[in-house]
Structure 1
Amino acid sequence: MSFKKDEESGLNAFYNNKSTIIQEARIFNESNVSPRKCRALLTRVVYLLYLGETFSTQEATNLFFGTTKLFQNKDGALRQMVYFTVKELATMAEDVIMVTSSIMKDMQPNSEVVYRPNAIRALCRIIDPSMVQGVERFFKSAIVDKNPSISSGALVSSYHLYPQAKEVIKRWVNEVQESVNVKPIASYFNSPQPSSSGYLGFSSPQPAGPQTIPSTSNITQYHALGLLFQIRQQDRMAITKMIQQLGGAKSGSGSSLKNPMALCMLVRYAVKVMEEDPNMHKQMYDLLEGWLRHKSDMVNYEAARAICEMRGVTPQQLTRSVSVLQIFLSSPKPVLKFAAIRTLSQLALTHPASVATCNVDMENLITDSNRSIATYAITTLLKTGNEASVDRLMKQITGFMSEISDEFKVIVVEAIRSLTLKFPAKQALMLNFLSGVLRDEGGYDFKRAVVEAIFDMIKYISDSKETALAHLCEFIEDCEFTKLSVRILHLIGLEGPKTLQPTKYIRYIYNRVVLENAIVRAAAVSSLAKFGVNAVDGTIRNSIRVLLSSRCLDDVDDEVRDRAAMYLKVMQQDVLAQKYVRDDSVFSLATLESQLVSYVNDSAASEVPFDVSGVPKVSRAQAQQESARPNAIDTIVAATPAKAAPAAPVQKTAEETKSAYAQQLAAVPDFAEYGPILNSSNKPAALTETETEYVVSCVKHIFKEHVVFQFNVSNTLPDTILERVAVAMQPNDAGLTEDFILPVESLSHETSPQIVYVSFTRDSPEGYVLGSFGCTLKFISKEVDPTSGVPEEEGYEDEYQLEEVELGAGSDYIVPNYAAFTAEWDKMKETGTSLTETFALSSMGSLKAACDSLIEILNMEALGGTENPQSTSVHTLNLSGLVTGGGGKVLARCRMTFSSGQGVTLELSVRAEQDPAARLVLAAIGG
C-alpha cells in the first residue's frame, strides 16, 4: 500500500487527503445541497477507509453526523451512498445511536425498496444489543419479504447481530426457515425499467411500476441457510434433520435448495456432521454422492472435494468423485480445470492409484496456456506415474520452470521431493534438477523448499549423500539467506565427517568464516569443530585446531570467539566431546520448564538441589520440532463437550499437555503441599460413550506420595442441572488410601465440561501401585423449567455407572526418554539391574502389530532395531524410558520371532538403574 501511495501524483494525493476531505465536508451543511458533489465526497471518504486510513473519534463523529443531514435529500443514489458511509463510520464515531429513528423510518414496510435493505444493514452496525427486541417486528417482516434484496439484507444483518442477541434472534427461526424455502420470482419484465442511472451506478427509484427487484439466483436461500445453522448449531439432531430435509434425503424429490452457493454450504455442514458423529457417516455420504449428479458445476465440485478429503475414505468411495473431477479436466472453463487438478493433486498424496485413472487427461493439460494448471498437472503426474515416465516429465518441467511464480515452483519441488523417495534409482536425475533450480533466481520459500528436498535425499538415500553435500557447498558460496546458510553448515558438520573424503568440505566451511556475517561465521565454527571432534585422522584434527586458533579466536564478534575457544577445549578432552558434540539428546524443554516452575513454587524444595535426572530427554530433531510449534499451553479440560467447538484446538505434544496440567493443578489450593507432578496421562481415558447423557473422561496425575484422578464431566442434557457432582472410586487392590473428593457444585449443559478431583495417598511411595478402580458418578439431578430457565428447588439423588479406571505401569509411571541405546545398554550391564523373561503374544498377527503394541503399553521411546518388522519373521526393538519418582533410566531390548500359527514370541530383556524399575517393565507385559 505504501508503494502505491508513493506512486500517487501530487494532485491525486491532495484530492484524497484526509484534511482536505474534512474541510470539504462543509458542503453537507449548505442550504442547496448538490447530490453529485456529496456523492463524490462520500466516495472519497469510503476510499480512504478502505485504504486503511484512520479518523480520530472527533473527526469520525463530525463526518458521521454531517452525513446524516443528507437523509432528507430525495436523491436515491445519494441516500444509498449515505447509508454506505454511515455503516463504515459507525465503528469509529460516538453517539451513533442517535440516528436510529431516522434509519428506522426507511425500514417501514411501505418504504422505497431501494432504501429499506440499506437501512437494515446500517441499523445492524449502530444498534445496541439491548434494542434488538424493539426492532424485532421490522426484522421479521423483512426476512419474509418477497423482495430478495430486502430479505437478504435482513438475514445478513441478523447473522451479524446473532452473537450479541442470541435469544432474540432464535425466536425468528420460523421466518428464517420460510426464507430457505423456494419463492416464486415476481414478474419483472412487465414493469417499467429505470430510465437513468445515478452517480457510481446507483439507480434512482422509479415511482411507477411494481417495486420488485428481479432475481433468478435465489441468493436469499444462501443467507437464510447460514443464519439457520447459527441458530441451530448447538442442536446436532436439528442440524442433521435440516441437512436431510434440504438435501432431499427424506422427501425423495430432490433438494429444495436452488441456489448453488447454498447447496455448497449444505455440503460443508454435512461434512461437519460426519466428522462429529460417526453414526451419521453413511447417511451423509449418500447425500454427498447424490450431489455429485447436481446440474451445477459448483455443487458437483464441492461434493467431490468433500469426499476426497474425508478421513479414511476408501478407493471404492472415491470412484465417482474422481470421475466427476476427471470430466472437469476437459472443461473449457479454466477455473474448473484448476479446481479439479488441484484437488486431484492433493488426493494423489494418499491415493495415487485412484488418481492414476486420470493420467491421460492430465497429460493433455501439460501444454495448457494457464501455467498454474500445467504445474499441477505435471506434479500430479509425478505422484501417480511410474518410473519409466519420470525422464519425460522431468524434461517438460525443466522447460517451463522459469515461466511460473515461486509459489508454483515450491509445488513442483515438493512433488520432486516425494518422487525421489518413491524412485531412489532416479536420484541422480532429481539431484541435477534441484541443483540447477537452486542456482536460479527465487525467494526464500522457494530456495528453502529446494534445500529441504536435498536434505531428505541425504537422509533417506545414502548413494546421493556426497553429491548432494557438494551441491549444497556450492550453493552457500553465493547464498543470500542467512537461515539457509546456517542450516546447511549444520548439516555439513553432521554428515561431512562420515564421508570418505571429509577434507573437501572444510574449504567451503572456512570460506564462510572469512566472508560471511557473524551469524554464519558462528555456525561455520561449530561445523568445523565437528570435523575436528569426529575425525579419525589426527591430521584433520590438528588442521581444524589451527584454523580455529589462527582466525576465529581473534574474530570481532564475541559469539564466534567464544565458540572457537569452547571447541578448542572440547577437542582436547574426549569426555567433553562425547557430552557436547557427539551426544544427540537434549532435555525436553516443556517438561524441564514445568518441573522448574514447580521447584521454584515449592517452598520446601528450595533447600534441596534441583534433580535434573527426572527430566526426560528427546532427540535434537524432536526438540527442533517442539520449539517450532506455537505456544499453546492453555488450561486443559480434555473431555468431549456437548456443544460443537468453533475451531479445532491446536494439537499439543505430550510434554506440552503435561506442562499445562501442572499449571492447572497448581491453581488448586488442596494440592499445594503435594509437590511437583511426576507424570500425567498423555490423553484422557473415556469412561462413557460420547452419545450418552453424561460424558466422562479421566486423567491420572502421579505425585511423589499421592495419586490424583481428574474426571472431566459434561452434561449433555439442556433441560437438566446436576448439583454436587462427585465420583466414587473403589480400588480393587490395596496400596492407595482415599484422601478427599473435590466435587462440582453445579453442572449444566452450558457450563460443561467441569472437573471432579479424587485424591489418594500412596501407602508405599517407593513402590508402584497397579490395578483398577470401579467408578460411579453421583449427583443430584434437577429439572429446568423451559419457560423461566429456573431449576426446581428439590431434585433427586442419582448415580451413573462408569467404566473402570486403570493404573498401568507404562502409561502412568514411565515416560519416553531418548538415549544412545548401545552405549547406555553396555553401561547398565555393569552398574544396573538386568532381567529377562519370555512371553507368548499369540494374539499378535504380525511383528509390526507387536511393535506398536509394545510401544503403547510400555510408553517408551522406540530407538530402532536390527530388522524391518514388515518384511521378516525376526525383529529386535530397542526401547528407552525414564521411571518417575527417582526410578531412573530403564532400557528394554525386545527380541521377537513370528510364525503364522503361534503368533509372536517375545524375549524381553530389561536393564535399569534400579531393580524396582526393571520389574515394573516386566509387570507391564506379564500383568
Structure 2
Amino acid sequence: MLALFLKRGHGGGSNPFQHLEKSAVLQEARVFNETPINPRKCAHILTKILYLINQGEHLGVMEATESFFAMTKLFQSNDPTLRRMCYLTIKEMSSIAEDVIIVTSSLTKDMTGKDDNYRGPAVRALCQITDSTMLQAIERYMKQAIVDKVPSVSSSALVSSLHLLKTSYDVVKRWVNEAQEAASSDNIMVQYHALGLLYHVRKNDRLAVNKMLSKFTRHGLKSPFAYCMMIRVASKLLEEEAGQLLLSLKISMQLLLCSYEGCFRAISTLPSLIATLAITTLLKTGSESSIDRLMKQISSFMSEISDEFKVVVVQAINALCQKYPRKHAVLMNFLFTMLREEGGFEYKRAIVDCIISIIEENSESKETGLSHLCEFIEDCEFTVLATRILHLLGQEGPKTNNPSKYIRFIYNRVVLEHEEVRAGAVSALAKFGAQNEEMLPSILVLLKRCVMDDDNEVRDRATFYLNVLEQKQKALNAGYILNGLTVSIPGLERALHQYTLEPSEKPFDLKSVPLATAPNAPVAVVKQPEKVAATRQEIFQEQLGAIPEFRGLGPLFKSSPEPVALTELETEYVVRCTKHTFVSHMVFQFDCTNTLNDQILENVTVQMEPTEGYEVIGYIPAKTLVYNQPGTCYTLVALSEEDPTAVACTFSCMMKFTVKDCDPNTGETDDEGYEDEYVLEDLEVTVADHIQRVLKPNFGAAWDEVGDEYEKEETFTLSAIKTLEGEGVSELLTFLLAPFRSLTGRLLGQSCSYCDNKLAQASKTQKSIPSPMGTRLDCGRQESILHSTVSGRQTFPEAFQIPPEDLCLLQDVSFLVHPP
C-alpha cells in the first residue's frame, strides 16, 4: 500500500505552491472580475496570494491595491468557503494595500447579518482595517457583538477589542459594561476573553484590579482558563505588595547592617557580584561617622574584584561624596590610592570623573584634587584622560593660591608626551599666562620653546597663543584664550557649508551663527553619536529660514523653551504659541489643532493686537486644518524702534478662519464655507524672551573684558525674604540673579561669628532686606531693563545676552540686614 501511495504522488512531502511566481498569481487574480464568479477557482487563487505573503514575498502598493479591489467583487458570491478566504485576505493585505476601508460597508453588513458563520470573521477583519479615527463609527456594533449570544461572535469581538486597546484606549475603555456582562457567560472562552479585556483596561488602577479579583473570587468562574489568568494577576499583585513591604523596612535594615560581623561576612562572599553589591549597600546605608571605618574595610577587598565591579564601587563613592561633603578628604585619599593601582580605561575614567565632581562641588578640595590629578598624568597611558585633566588645570589652576606649582606638571607633558597631549598642554599654559600677569614672562618663554615643535597643531597653537599674550590685552585674552567661540558648533558647520554653496563677495559673518546656549537642566553623560544632532533652536532656524517672508530677519536669537497654551485642552480648538526673537522682530508660531471631526478649517490666522510698542507687520496662514491634524500659522511683529527698553508687552489674540462642514465618515467637504473667529487667551512677552543664557567658561575674564565704565550699583528692598536663617542666603542669591559658580555672597560685619549672631537675632523681626547689587552692562540702554526685573523674580544665570549681543554680568552681591 505504501508503494502504491507513493507511486500515485500522494507522498514524499511535496508542496503544490512551492514554485509559485508573484507575477503569475497576480495575473490569475484578474479572474475575480469575471461573471459569473467561480468560487472554487477564486478560493484557490486567494490561497496562493496568502501563501506568497506568508512566505515573505514583497507585494508593491499598486499591485496589492489592484488585487484588493478586484477581490472586493467576490462579496457578490454567497459561497461560505470563498467568503472566509476573503476575510483572511483582507486581514493580511490591510497593511499593504491602500484605501482598504472600501470594504467597511460589506463587512458591517456581514457583521450585523443573520448568518453566524460570517459574523465572527467579519468582526475580526473589520477591526483589522479600522483605525482610531473610524472606531467611533462602529462602536455601537462592537458593543452589540461583545454581548452577542453566539460564543464565536462574542469571542471575536472581545479579542479584537484587546488588539484595539493598544491604539484606542479611550474608546475601548467605554466598553467595560459590555465586557462585564460577557464575563458572566456560560461559554469558557467568552468568559476567559472577557476577563482578559477587563484586566488590561484596569491594570494601571491597583484598586480596580483588587475589586475585580474579589468579585470573581466571590461569585466563581466556569472557565478554567479564566481561573489561570486570575492566578497570574493575583501573583503579580502579591509580588508588588512584597516589594513595597521591603521598602518600608529601610530603617530596620540599616540598623541590622551596623553589625561588624554581618558586614565582614557579606564582603567575604566569594562571587564578585555579591561582594560588589554588599560594598555598595554599605556605602549607601552607612552614616557619616562610619565612613572612615568603611574605607579601611573596603580597601582590602578592592583588589579581589574586576574593573567592571570597581566602576560600580566608584559610582557609589561619588554618591557618598555628594551626601557627605565634609568627608571629601577621606574619600579623596581613597580615590587617589585606587587611581595609582593598575586598571583599564573605564575604571580610571570613573575615578577621574569622581575626583572632578568633588572639585567642582567643594572648593576646599580643589587644590588637593588638582595635585592628585597632576601626579596621575605623570604616568598616564590614556590620552583622553590626560587631555581632559590638562583642560581642567587650565581652567581651575590659575584660580588657586599658588598656581605656579602646576606649571612643571603641564610643561612635562610638552616634553614627554605625544602630539595630542602636547597640544592640550600648550593650551593650558596659555590660560595660566592670560590670567596671571606675574607668570606671563615665564609662560612666554615656554611657549617660544613650543614654537619649534615637530607637530603642526602644537606649533600653530603655540604661535597663536604667543602672539595673543604678547599684546597684553584682557579683551583679546578673554575672547581667544579663555572663553573662545560662543557659537554653536553644528550651527557654524551648517552656516559655512551654506556659504560655500552660494558664492558671495562678502566675507563670512560670524553673527549669522546661532549662539551655543547653556543647557536648562543637567544632561546625563552618554556616548555621543558619530553625527551631531541639531538643537531645537537650530531646527527652528531652518524651518523659519525656509519661509520667504522671514529670510531677511537675520539669525534667530532665541526661541521660547516651552510653547504657551492659549486654550484649554478640552476645547474645540487647541492653540499653542512658540515665541521666536530676532534682532528687531519677533515671530509668533501658533500650532493649532482642530478637534471637531465634522469641520475643516481653511486660511487660519491668529490676529494680534499689542498694548504698546510693537507693530504687527503681517500674517502667514495655515491653509487647512483637518480633524486632529496639527497645522501652523505665523504672525510677524516688529519691535519698538522709538523706545528700545519697551520689551514687555501683552497681546490680545483672536483666531480667524473659514469653516467648511464635512461628513465624519466619508470626509466629503461642502463647497461653500463661512467666516468665523475664536477668542484666545492673552499672550505676554516678557524680558525673559529677550535674554538668553550664553556660555562663558571664564567668568572673571568676561567681567574684566566689559570694563569698569559700564558698572552699575543698585539697592533693592526684598520684602518677600523674611529671614536669613537656614536656606535664606541661597534663596537671596537666587533672587538676585546670582550665578553660584562664579559668585559668592558675603555677610557684612566685623567677623563671621559676630555677623552670624547678628543676622540670626535680627531675622526674627526684619521685614525687608536692602541689598546692593553690582552689574556691568555692555550697553547703557539695558540698565533699566535688567534692574527692573528684580522685583518680578526674573532669574538669569552667570552671563546674559540681550540682542544684539549686549553682555550683562553680575558679580559681588552683598547683603546687609539693618536693625528695625
Q: How does 1:162-561 map to 2 (within 5 A)?
A: 227-232=163-168, 237-238=170-171, 241=174, 270=204, 284=205, 324-325=242-243, 355-356=250-251, 358-359=253-254, 366=266, 372=273, 375-376=276-277, 378-391=279-292, 393-394=294-295, 408-438=309-339, 443-477=344-378, 479-497=380-398, 505-506=406-407, 508-531=409-432, 542=442, 549-550=448-449, 552-561=450-459
Matched, 1:772 2:690: no
CA distance in 1, matches of 2:379, 2:158: 54
Cα shift at 1:93:
12
Correspondence for 2:57: 90
Specify the alignment match of 2:31 in structure 1.
Answer: none
SS at 1:864 equivalent: coil
How far 1:417 sits from its partner (Å)? 0.4
Report the Cα offset of residue 926 of structure 1: 6.4
Which deviates more from structure 2 when the two are superposed, residues 746-755 or residues 593-602?
A: 593-602
User: Aligned pair 1:787/2:665, yes or no?
Assistant: yes
Structure 1 segment 484-883 matched on structure 2, within 5 A: 484-497=385-398, 505-506=406-407, 508-531=409-432, 542=442, 549-550=448-449, 552-570=450-468, 572-575=470-473, 578-579=477-478, 583-584=482-483, 586-589=485-488, 593=492, 610=509, 612=511, 656-733=535-612, 735-760=613-638, 762=640, 764=642, 766=644, 768-808=646-686, 810-817=687-694, 830-832=708-710, 834=712, 836=714, 838-842=716-720, 852=734, 855=737, 864-867=743-746
Tell me how far apart the structure 1 counterparts of residues 231 and 754 of structure 2 sit (CA, whole Å). 52
Matched-pair contact (CA < 8 Å) for 1:221–1:259: no
Structure 2 CA distance for aligned equivalents of residues 245 and 429 of structure 1: 67
Q: 2-side partners of 1:429 and 1:291: how far apart?
A: 56
CA distance in 1, matches of 2:20, 2:455: 52
**Number of residue pairs the alignment of both structures matches:** 702
Q: Using a 3 Å threshold, how does the CA distance of structure 1 residues 674 and 95 change in structure 2: closer, same or farther?
A: closer
CA drift of 1:917 comes to 1.4
Alpha-carbon distance between aligned partners in 1 of 2:684 and 2:231, rounded to the nearest angstrom: 53
- The separation in 1 between residues aligned to 2:348 and 2:209, in whole angstroms, is 40
Indicate conservation of the 8 Å contact 1:698/1:709, yes or no.
yes
Is 359-368 or 442-451 further displaced after alignment?
359-368
Question: Which amino acid in 2 is paired with 1:232?
Answer: S
User: Which amino acid in 1 is paired with 2:576?
Assistant: S
CA distance in 1, matches of 2:60, 2:619: 53
Tell me if the contact between 1:587 and 1:616 (Cα under 8 Å) persists in the aligned partners: yes
- What is the letter of the counterpart of residue 601 of structure 2? L
Unaligned runs of 5+ in 2: 1-7, 27-49, 112-119, 185-190, 218-228, 757-761, 793-820
Provide closer, same or farther for how the CA distance between residues 396 and 673 of structure 1 changes in structure 2, counting only shifts above 3 A: same
DSSP 3-state at the match of 2:646: coil
> What CA deviation, in whole Å up to 9, does each residue of 1:759-780 have, x standing for no partner?
4574537553533222222334
Structure with more contact order per residue of length (Cα contacts < 8 Å, sep ≥ 6): 2
Cα distance per residue 1:466-499 (max 9 Å; x no partner): 4444443454455443222221222234344555
Inter-CA distance 396–750: structure 2 relative to 1 (3 Å threshold): farther
Pair member with larger Rg: 2
1:598-645 alpha-carbon deviations (Å, 9 max, x no partner): 996999x987984759976768999999999777877xxxxxxxxxxx
Quote the Cα distance in structure 1 between the aligned partners of 2:515 and 2:341.
Answer: 44
Contact 1:598 1:676 in 2 (8 A): no
| Counterpart AA for 1:561 | R
CA 1:374–1:709 in structure 2 vs 1: closer, same or farther (change >3 Å)? same
Give secondary structure in 2 for the equivalent of 1:525.
helix
Question: TM-score when scaled to structure 1?
Answer: 0.58
Q: What's the TM-score, normalizing by structure 2?
A: 0.64
How far has the Cα of 1:422 moved from its partner?
A: 1.5
Contact 1:721 1:781 in 2 (8 A): yes
What is the Cα-based RMSD across aligned positions, in Å?
6.5
**TM-aligned CA distance change 1:385 to 1:61, over 3 Å:** farther
Change (3 A) 1:464 1:829: closer
Give, in whole Å, the separation in 2 of the partners of 1:658 and 1:798: 34
> Which whole-Å CA distance do the structure 2 matches of 1:747 and 1:873 have between them?
68
2: distance between equivalents of 1:872 and 1:407?
48
**AA paired with 1:424?**
P
Q: Counterpart in 2 of 1:920? A: 785
- Tell me the secondary structure at the aligned position of residue 230 of structure 1: coil
- Cα 1:468/1:767, change in 2 over 3 Å: closer
- Cα deviation, 1:163-208, whole Å, max 9, x if unaligned, reads 9x77899989899999999x9999xxxxxxxxxxxxxxxxxxxxxx
Per-residue Cα deviation, 1:656-703 (whole angstroms, up to 9, x for no partner)? 444333322222222344444454434322222233322222233344
Q: Which runs of 5+ in 1 are unaligned?
A: 1-29, 43-57, 66-82, 142-150, 187-218, 271-283, 306-320, 330-343, 345-352, 635-655, 876-896
Q: Out of 573-582 and 686-695, give the one that drifted further.
A: 573-582
Q: Give a deviation string over 1:496-545, Cα, whole Å, max 9, x none.
A: 4555666665555455445543222322333344456556765x964x66
Partners of 2:603 and 2:381 in 1: CA distance: 65
CA distance in 1, matches of 2:291, 2:180: 44
Shift of 1:419: 0.4
Look up the equivalent residue of 2:332 and give its one-letter code.
L
Q: Cα–Cα, structure 1 residues 561 and 178, in superposed 2: closer, same or farther, change >3 Å? A: farther
Contact kept in structure 1, 2:580 and 2:586, CA below 8 Å:
yes
Residues 697-749 of structure 1: CA deviation (Å, up to 9, x unaligned): 2233344554433322222233332233222323333x333333323232123
Q: Distance in 2 between matches of 1:259 and 1:472?
A: 65
Once residues 720 and 454 of structure 2 are traced to their aligned partners in structure 1, the CA distance between those partners, rounded to angstroms, is: 67
Q: Distance in 1 between matches of 2:484 and 2:522?
A: 9
Q: Secondary structure at the match of 2:635?
A: strand
Q: Which residue of 1 aligns with 2:41?
A: none
In structure 2, C-alpha distance between the alignment counterparts of 1:600 and 1:578, rounded to whole Å: 29
SS at match of 1:712: strand
1:453 shift after superposition:
0.8
Deviation at 1:420, TM superposition (A): 1.4
CA contact (8 A) 1:525 1:563 kept: yes
- Residues 608, 651 of structure 2: 8 Å contact kept: yes
Are 2:283 and 2:316, in contact at CA under 8 Å, matched by a contact in 1? yes
Per-residue displacement from partner, 1:900-919 (whole Å, max 9, x unpaired)?
76355555555434332112
Q: Matched residues, percent identical?
A: 30
2-structure distance, mates of 1:259, 1:376: 44
DSSP-derived class of the 1:587 partner: coil
CA distance 1:167–1:833, change in 2 (3 Å): closer
